[in-house]
Amino acid sequence: MGAASEAPRHPPLARVNSEPSQPEVSWRMGLLTIIAEALHSLSKSIVRTGLSILGIVIGIAAVIAMMAVGTGTQRAVDEEVSRLGDDWLVVWYEGRQRGAVRRKGGVLPTVVEDDVQAIRDQCQGIRALSLAHFFHGKQVVSSIGNYNTTIRGLEPSCFDIFHWDVLRGRRMTDEDNAARYKVCWLGITVVEKLFGTLDPLGQTIRIDRHPVEVVGILMPKGSGADGEDLDDVVVMPLATTQTLLAGNFPPRVFFAAAKAGVPVQIVKERIRSLLRERHRVGEDEEEPYGMFDRSVYAEARGRMTGAFKTLMTFIASISLFVGGVGIMNIMFVSVTERTREIGVRMAIGANSRHILTQFLCEAVVLCGVGGVLGFALGWALANFTVSSFMGVLTRGLTVECELSYTMVAVAIGVSAGVGIFFGFYPAYRASRLDPIDALRYE
C-alpha cells in the first residue's frame, strides 16, 4: 500500500509542459518585446558587448566610406568628362627619328597644315578640326594690372571640339581668323586677375605689346585631370597668333573631334593610318606624331576608382568577418552563461523556436547597433578623407561625398546579414539544449 500509493515528489516535466494553466501564448512575444529583452540581456555586460561590435563598426564604416568616396569620385570624373568632352583627341608633330635624335627640321613649314587638310578631305567620322598654337607664361597687361597666363591660338571650330561656350560676349567666327582680327576671349581666372570686378568686355589688353580687344568671356570649366586651371587661358584666332606671336614657327598641334556615334578610337586609327601613309612610315619605324585622346583619361580614372573600391571592399570584408567571429563568440558565451535560464524557460512552456528566435534576435540587435555606429563613423571618415587627401590622390579633381538610400540599405542589410549568419549556430545550440540538463547546469 505504501509504495504503490505514494505520489511522486515532482510532477513529470512532460506534464508540466502540457498543463493548460501554462498558456504557451505568453511566449509568443512581439518583435518589440524580443528586441527589448535582447537589449536588456546585452546591457548586462557593456564592455564585452562593446568589444564584440567593434569589428562590425569598423567593417560597416569601411563599406560606407568606400561607397561614399567612390560614388563621389565617379561623379566628379563624369562631370569633368562632360565638361571637357571625351570625343576628341590631340595630335602633335614630334619630328622624324634619326639615330638617337628626334628632328623636327628638314620639313616644309606647312607640314601639319597640309596633314590637317588631308584629314579633312579623306578621313570620315570627323566633325571638327582645329590647328593650335600654345604660348605659355605670356604676360598680359590690362589697365589695372598684369598677369602671366597661357595664350591659345585656335580656329573657330575649337568651341565645338572642347564643348566650350561663351559666358558673355560672342563666339569666334571664321572672319576673325581670316582677317586676323586682334580679338581675344578670356577665361574667368584671367578676368579676375586682370580686371577684378570691372567689366572686361570691350576693354583692350596688351600681349607682347600688341593691343588686343576682349570680345568674350569663356564659360568656367574648373580644374583638369592634372590640377591645371582650365580657366587660366586667353584664346585668340590662330591666324592672329601666327602674326603677332608665332612668327616663323608654324602650328605643330591640332585637335580632332569625332562625329556623334563614332568612337574616338576609330577616328584615331583613321588619322594614324593616313599620317603613316603620308609620311611613308615603315612597319618598324616610329611615328612622327604623338596622339592622346580623352577616352584614355576616362578609362584611367575608371580603373583608379575601381581599384580603390576593390581595396576598400577587401578591407571591409576582413573587418566584417572578424566582427562576425566576435559576435559568434559572445553568443556562445551568452548561451553558456544562460544555460539554466534557458532550461527554466523551456520548463514553463518555451519551445525550441522561441529560444532560437530570442538568441538570433540578440545577435541581429548587436550587429544593428554596430551598423548604426559604423554608418556614422564611415560617413565621418569619408568626409575627412575627401577634405584631407583626395585632392592629392586625384590630382586636383574636386570630389564630394555622396549619401544615398543604397548606402543606408547596405549598412542595414549587411549588419542584419552578419548577425543572422554568425548568430544562427549559437542560437541553434541554445534551442537544442535538453531542458533537464539545462536546469541542472551550475
Q: Is the pLDDT of residue 85 over 60?
A: yes
pLDDT per position as a tens digit, 316-369: 677 677 777 777 777 777 777 777 777 777 777 777 777 777 778 877 887 888
Specify the pLDDT at position 28: 46
Share of the chain above pLDDT 90, in %: 22
Tell how far CA 436 is from the center of its chain. Answer: 58
In the three-class reduction of DSSP (H, G, I as helix; E, B as strand; rest coil), residue 208 is classed as coil
The rounded mean pLDDT for the chain is 76
Tens digit of each residue's pLDDT (9 = 90 or more) over 166-211: 999 999 999 999 999 999 999 999 999 999 889 999 999 999 889 9
User: Phi-psi category of 137—alpha, beta or left, where left has phi over 0 and alpha has psi -120 to 50?
Assistant: left
Chain mean position to CA 44: 42
The whole-angstrom separation of Cα 231 and Cα 219 is: 8
Q: What are phi and psi of 186, to 5 degrees?
A: -105, 140
Residue 20 is predicted with a pLDDT of 40
Cα–Cα distance measured from residue 4 to residue 103, given in angstroms and rounded to the nearest whole number: 120
Phi, psi torsion values for 43, nearest 5 degrees: -70, -10
pLDDT digits (tens, 9 = 90+) for 86-140: 788 888 887 655 444 444 444 445 678 889 999 999 998 999 999 999 999 899 9
Q: Confidence band (pLDDT; 50, 70, 90) for 218?
A: very high
Tell me, what amino acid is at 61?
Answer: A
User: How far apart, in whole angstroms, are the C-alpha atoms of residue 312 and residue 67?
Assistant: 9
In angstroms, the Cα distances linking 361 to 291, 346, 355, 365 are 61, 18, 10, 6
3-state SS, residue 136: strand
For the cut 50, the answer to whether the pLDDT of residue 288 exceeds it is: yes
Residue pair 421/104 in contact (Cβ under 8 Å)? The answer is: no
C-alpha to C-alpha distance for 41 and 305, rounded to whole angstroms: 43
For the chain, give every domain's residue range: 26-79+300-440, 95-287
